[in-house]
């Protein structure tokens, strides 16, 4: 017997996740976080959000409000590895834009328009890397800051960035 799936995630798994958090404070955040983690491309497709809204009795607009408020959640498919460049003032003055531009050439991605203040979300064609920006990590004394697969790297330089990406390429898998 084949189980139903909602855009890459087994609905039986979603049912287990929603049941696990039933009647717990902050249940929706936990459900969304686990559901995103279960998806092969670490994102929340609209079908999954609709299913969660229905299963939890939460208005779909409220589910979308939570997903779009928290930077952790993604509505777009992500690569195997995540690289997040801080664009806050301290990081900007310490050349985070140069790091972002260097990532383009290192990973073979192109963003014609790297305007100041715009959020970036680019995934390589092979789905190995997703490059994103964040307004501020709150790690200003460590600027410039880049997060790679959930690990904060401080005082980042192009050489350090190249080394970190080299490690990911060499060892494959998640670099945590």
Pick the more confident residue, 27 or 121.
Answer: 27
Together in a domain, 65 and 132: no
How far apart CA 87 and CA 95 sit, in angstroms, is 9
Identify the pLDDT of residue 3.
53
Contact 77, 41 (CB under 8 A): yes
Together in a domain, 85 and 150: yes
**What digits encode the pLDDT tens for the residues 67-99?**
998 878 999 899 999 999 999 999 999 999 999
Contact 74, 44 (CB under 8 A): yes
Of the candidates 27, 78, 71, the one whose C-alpha atom is nearest the C-alpha of residue 52 is: 27
How far apart CA 104 and CA 14 sit, in angstroms, is 36
Tokens encoding 124: 């390589």
pTM reported for the whole predicted model? 0.73
Mean pLDDT of 154-170: 94
Domain of residue 95: give its range.
81-171
Of the candidates 119, 71, 140, 30, the one whose C-alpha atom is nearest the C-alpha of residue 16 is: 30
Residue 3 maps to a domain: no
Query: In what helix (H) or strand (E) does residue 146 lie, and over which residues does it extend?
Result: strand 146-148
Together in a domain, 116 and 58: no
Q: Evaluate the CA torsion angle 34, 165, 99, 123 in order and state its sign.
A: negative
106 SS3 class: helix
- Lowest-confidence pick of 6-10, 57-61, 159-163: 6-10
Check whether the bond before 48 is cis (ω within 30° of 0). Answer: no
Q: How many domains does the chain have?
A: 2
- Mean pLDDT over each residue of the chain, to the nearest integer: 87
**What digits encode the pLDDT tens for the residues 94-149?**
999 999 999 988 998 876 544 444 678 888 988 899 999 988 999 999 999 999 99
């Amino acid at each position: 017997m084949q189980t139903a799936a909602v855009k890459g995630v087994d609905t039986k798994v979603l049912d287990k996740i929603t049941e696990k958090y039933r009647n717990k404070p902050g249940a929706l955040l936990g459900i969304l976080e686990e559901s995103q983690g279960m998806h092969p491309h670490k994102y929340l497709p609209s079908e999954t959000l609709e299913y969660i809204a229905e299963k939890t009795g939460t208005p779909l607009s409220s589910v979308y409000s939570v997903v779009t408020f928290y930077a952790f959640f993604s509505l777009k498919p992500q690569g195997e590895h995540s690289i997040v460049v801080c664009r806050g003032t301290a990081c900007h003055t310490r050349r985070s834009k140069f790091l972002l531009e260097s990532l383009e050439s290192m990973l073979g991605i192109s963003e014609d328009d790297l305007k100041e203040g715009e959020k970036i979300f680019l995934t390589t064609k092979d789905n190995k890397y997703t490059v994103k920006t964040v307004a501020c990590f709150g790690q200003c004394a460590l600027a410039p800051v880049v997060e790679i697969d959930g690990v904060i790297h401080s005082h980042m330089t192009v050489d350090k960035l190249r080394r970190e990406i080299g490690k990911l390429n060499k060892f494959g898998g998640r670099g945590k």
